[in-house]
Amino acid sequence: MKMVWVKKQKNGLLLWQTVCFRRGPTLSVLIIGVVCFGFSNIASAIGGTAPSVFITSPGAGMVAQGDNVVVDVTANAATPATITQVKLLVNGTVFATDTNSPYTFSWDSVDYGTANGRYSLTAEALDSNGLSTISAPITILVDNADLNSDGTVNISDLAIMATNWGVTSGATYSQGSILDNGAVNIADLAILATNWGTTDTDGPGGTQIAVGIAVDDSDQQNNDEIANYAGAVGTNPDFVQWYQAWSEPLYYAGQETSVVGNNLTPIISWTSDTTPLTSISDGSEDSTIDAAANLAKQWPGTLYIRFDYEMNVSSSEWNPSNLGETPADFVSAWQYIVNRFNTDGVTNVQWIWSPNVDCNGLCPFDSYYPGSTYVNMVGLDGYNYAWVDDVNWETFAALFQNSYNDIVALAPGKPVDIAETASAEANSSEMTAGDSKASWIQQMADYIPSNMPAVTAITWWSAEGDQATMEVNSSLTSLSAWVNDIVDNPTYQANLP
């Protein structure tokens, strides 16, 4: 029987994608007519409110290489019930149970013995009324023994290990100490042998990437672009990204209504505009930050904030050089905002640090990185403007690969968001050369899973009336490519957590 696929858990309704298809003892399913219920829906059907539960860390797309993965879970019961236990499930199988808050689990990706690949983590919370809820899943990548991070465990990794064989202390993971204990010996070789020939897209989880759209929200509601996209491709995106200035509230009521009503995850690109970064870090802007933090706490679920994106290019008015400031001032401002949110009691925000691609080395971004403690996800913005900007046609790989290599080295283990991208339609001379927007989309869809294993999300620019015809439905061939290679592709069916 075919059931309708739905996406997220919001306001007690189990809406995330896999609920109607999960099997086994970890999820009870009740089917009434053509409606599919999970635990939290059953709770409503029989009376009572099920607990809420979500995984707060790690973020989706973490790369585990010999890592002891610490999983933190937040669970709350409806008064007067209490949480009695929280379970961590790996690919649907119970891995561990915790009965005391804070709920923290330690999953050693090496000792667990799983093959390389992507694995789905979920948490199940049970309360004293016997009601339970399973969280939305997050996906992490186990990539053990891939010492040179080329995506495959092969002879080149064995050669690295051989070079350092017998070292008893001081060796790093990339030098062959897969257990990360400083030594390179038979235990590390056994792990390499177990994973020999695997690639970073192997494993039962498969590659999983969420797809969203970036909109220019002039009506403060996001409705037009969401409806335009859904009408063109036949379904909503997983998430929507929009833009808020420093002088505006973090979001408007109409935006919340639209995003929650469409079951979308929000990403807010929040910019300081011409506000001096030093005035943020010295406390002069605390009232603005506190107001934003208060709104963030009120959002019903996880809220992603992408502060001062593309900070490394001078075309951004918040680029520090435009204000007579430095990358260090940017870092201080970023850290101050995150710390202020934490002080204000915000627990539902994920921070995305998102520079522009490095312009072939002309706009490097490393010096703007605030540090792993202050960032949950990293992103990259890049477009194929081609004739619109009087530049050469660029493939997705040419635009992103070098910057991707840089950012995963700069922020190891962080999930990567292709935070803004799109392609113009080809003009007549570009079409003569064999280029097209449809082929650009197809090549992107094929390229990311094989060459960018840390990518967990892509965001397509989808503003109506853009002069570069960036929307996915700018032509029938482009729309067909998007639907066939992205919307209907199992690789691109994930959700942001």
Amino acid at 126: L
Whole-number Cα distances in Å, 62 to 103, 120, 126, 374, 453: 19, 11, 27, 15, 10
pLDDT at position 323 is 92
- Quick: pLDDT tens for 16-71: 333 332 223 222 222 223 333 333 333 333 446 888 887 877 765 566 766 678 88
pLDDT at position 253 is 92
Query: Both tokens of residue 80?
Result: 């007067």
pLDDT at position 496 is 81
Write down the CATH superfamily of domain 210-492. Glycosidases (3.20.20.80)
Q: Secondary structure of the chain: what % helix, strand, coil (to 5)?
A: 30, 25, 45
Q: Is 9-142 a domain of CATH 3.40.50.410?
A: no
- Quick: pLDDT tens for 121-137: 888 999 999 998 887 66
Mean pLDDT by 10 residues, the chain (497 residues): 29 32 29 32 50 78 70 89 92 88 84 63 89 77 75 85 91 81 87 75 56 80 80 92 95 91 92 97 98 96 96 96 96 98 95 96 96 95 92 94 94 93 93 94 92 92 72 93 90 82
Whole-angstrom distance, CA of residue 481 vs CA of residue 473: 10
pLDDT at position 62 is 66
pLDDT at position 204 is 36
What is the chain's Cα-based Rg? Answer: 23
Whole-angstrom distance, CA of residue 371 vs CA of residue 82: 37
Domain coordinates of the chain in residue numbers?
9-142, 155-194, 210-492
pLDDT at position 207 is 54
Whole-angstrom distance, CA of residue 156 vs CA of residue 487: 36
Whole-angstrom distance, CA of residue 20 vs CA of residue 28: 10
* pTM: predicted TM-score of the whole model, two decimal places: 0.63
pLDDT at position 482 is 96
pLDDT at position 114 is 57
Whole-angstrom distance, CA of residue 238 vs CA of residue 8: 9
Is the peptide bond prior to 415 cis by the omega test (within 30 degrees of 0)?
no
pLDDT at position 174 is 79
- Quick: pLDDT tens for 75-109: 999 889 999 999 998 877 888 999 999 999 987 77
Whole-angstrom distance, CA of residue 114 vs CA of residue 445: 27
- Report whether 9 contacts 300 (CB < 8 A): no
What residue ranges in 20-173 does DSSP mark as E strands? 30-32, 35-37, 52-57, 63-64, 68-76, 83-90, 93-98, 103-108, 117-127, 132-134, 138-142
Query: Both tokens of residue 84?
Result: 């009695």
